[in-house]
Chain A
Amino acid sequence: MLKKSTSRSLDSHISKKEITIALAGNPNAGKSVVFNQLTGGNQIIGNWPGKTVERTEGWIRYRDRRIRIVDLPGIYSLSTYTEEELIAREFIISGIPDVIINVIDASLLERSLFLTLQLLEMEKPLVLAVNQLDVAESKGLKTDIDALSKLLSIPAVGVIATRGTGLNKLLTVAIESADKQDSVAPPLYGGEIEQSIEELEKILDNAYPEYPVRWLAIKIIENDEDIKRLNLPEEVLERADVIRRGLEETHGEPIEVILSSERYALASRIARTSQRYEAGKRTLLQRLDSVLLHPVFGYISMGFFLFVAFIVLFKIGSIGSSLLEGLFSRLAPMVNSLALPETVKELLWDGLLSGIISGITIALPYILPFYIFLSFLENSGYLARIAFLTDNIMHKLGLHGKGAIPIIMGYGCNVPAILGTRILESRRERVIASLLATLIPCSARTVVILGLVGAFMGLKWAFVIYLLDLVIVYMAGFLMNRYYPGETPGLIMEVPDIRIPPLKPSLRQSWFRIKEFLYIALPYIMLGSVILELIKIFGWFDTINRILSPVIVNWLGLPPITGVVLIFGLLRKELTLILLSTFSGTTNFSTILNPRQMFVFSFFVTLYVPCLATVAALKKELGNITSTLIVIGEILISLILAGLLNQLWIYLAG
């Protein structure tokens, strides 16, 4: 079935001091769990150069050697159709990794092998980590690891990564394989396809020594986009065209389908030989799944679950932030006791430090628990079910089901929501999803809505604001879908088995995300605090209130003092409430605002300009022009809507 292995190694048993291992595998195969178990805490997380795809790398010491482990993005194939696939492919072909560990899901053997065969085509030392043996077993699948190893002619190790079983052996085998640098036997395909590959191999000869010639031949036949950059000689291209047309004619399918079918046929044969099926039992979680995806109960359970989760998260946030604020307020006397001029101290404390404190008191109690929750949702497989259930409605907004994910994230904080739009395929979707996410009331805005309208007018009025907001989000999405050129791609997404999320990787993921949030948000929050503090020191508050009063007082019907307050709200929206009480010297807001003003104020705070941190995230993901347009658009829309609301209220009341 496989080409006989020809040892290319020139007795190169000199073991390198530093070894690089790349982890490759399907999404949800348990790659990150393997990675986390192997590397422990020594990781750095970043982006692949020039890409928005996350890159994780870690180190371990093994005997006296340094082992670098690079976690490649989860992929199903090695074509060039997604950024992730391209990244994985380029990294493997670059020759940087000394060995590749292909983590496969034993319960999805055939599909996993589809990628394994393509990895074999690249002829780099490869070790198979057959993961999730426990899951496979519970489904009645018995896997013969030795048979797999023989059929593929590469070492294979059975592991259960969540329990750490088999990982030591995996590491030893991988290092051995890296040291030996045995060349790998690429898989052989069916009759005329094999002939075609060999024919092209001969023409290519060894013109491109940096690539395995057989792999290159396959890619040329496949009409691979990336290979076209090599500027192959006319003679090769013409020959490849003839070969491709011939194959397409014989099979009656496009070349992509022919080769995929061929690889799947081989994967299927290997899977059948190395795995036996004995009827498994339906687990409790599987039975739960028929409820979760149900056309009626699915929605009911989703609504209930998310509602409860948000309430719990908000409670955790408000308790946590008041604890932190209490803690930080003890720092004030320390700054005051410093021997510095009063103005400098104010700038230091009210400007710089309170900026940092602002960032931390929102990030830790509100956003971190939200990230952990999201990570659990993601790793349990429930997020994919939410995407499935919401696909229909999201299509009306120019997104598909996956677009619901950043929107839900927006309720925690808009910044991760915007970064989260990376999971969407096209720029059009990312722009629409980012815009909609900024319109979602995040936890800071929830503080204002509940603290003002909820506390003084009743919860049902707060609820009205949330409903109004959803209507506006829907309208915005609807209009964007209508007028933003392009079309919504269809949903193609794996729905992994529902499972108990692994604790450690989820927590670690959340921690890295919160760090990313702080890197993006903190500098802007600090800068903004300092500028506002300067305005305060120069005594420009009244001037600003006067300038803004035609809009604030005449159009929005709010008291003049709210002008400066709303400017501060650019930093952190819940500051509007805090400052309102500072400036007016009371926390009983009913003495300074009537119900109409409370409602209009909260409504306006919810919609007007996203906070500075969000603007920074928009700028990072969408660029200057688009983010500026979004900000200006939102200022205008919030002014128009909040003003109309005010006028309507006066009209109806009077």
Chain B
Amino acid sequence: MTMQLVHPPDSAEVRHAIAVTNVTKHYRARPWSKPTPALRGVNFTVNPGEIFGLLGPNGAGKSTLVKILMTVIRPSRCEGTLLGRPVGHKGTLRRVGYLPEHHRFPEYLTARQALDYFATLSGVDRPTRRKRSAELLDQLGLAKWADRRIGQFSKGMRQRLGIAQSLINDPQLVLLDEPTDGVDPVGRRDIRAILVQERAKGRTIFLNSHLLSELEMVCDRVAIMVQGRVSEQGTIPELTAYGQRYEIAATAAGGESLDWHAVLAPLTAPPPPAAAAGTLALRDGTMLETDRGLLRVRSMDPATIQPIIDAVRASRGVIKSVVSVRPSLEDLFMRAVTAADGSTLPPGAAEDSGSKGASA
């Protein structure tokens, strides 16, 4: 299977595949009613050639944001570019592929006809359309169903066809809104593989999904949207750095709990007056937390834990496990959608007061 990008990304020309600031959208139920905010100044960038994941709870404004980029929804305010052209520029959409959430293809069309139709709307010439339709139907496992009406397709097959449709115009940028919705685990794995393949070809992929584990597996960078704002964005290691640590489980020689304060006394500095109970600090400033037989070391540097292990051994303690812990995307997500008082933030774009979301 060989496919070449018709529009190879030009990094000199296009610094960001997407770069938007202050994307705002207000809805009014009635012309005279008070506007309800859906997006409250969204800022983010997507680099060329990466898979970028957008996650957030229901009602956070993810689909609204994608629809604004695709000119389906008119923003109240939007500054920024899509493939180097202002957002809303129709001509740019020739180089963009899009799979809407809950998409509905005309059921009277066959898979091949649907691809041909949407490719034509994107301005693809006939020979290219035919070639790419055949390639994509094969790639998405729909070759045998190419000439069947979409009305006969299962949800998963429709989803595969949707992805084929988003790639039919050989786009530089592909925006996929819940691409694995309704797809079985095997299908999801196939779709992930396709996304990785497409990234390897130089395409930029913008992924909007609820399935955090999937995003974690394929995304180079992610942004978390909460209540109409991007609360965090970056690479997954960057975003999860806050919770990266080593956890050392150990007991005293007789099996009783280890006195971490005594064992680590030679390595630690005097605790600051405001330090919580069970909190220690190494002389280099690395924070330690003790929890009965467990010691949490707030560092991912292996060199940091070597003297600690030595100290435990020296005190005749028994090391049961040393584990490198990194928060999952789910942890990150939960942290983003949890208010200071521990409650989960409600869906929708809430007013400023009391909202955790902060402009990135």
Partners in one complex: no
Q: What residues of chain B have their CB less than 8 Å away from a CB belonging to chain A?
A: none
Report which A residues bind B (CB closer than 8 A). none
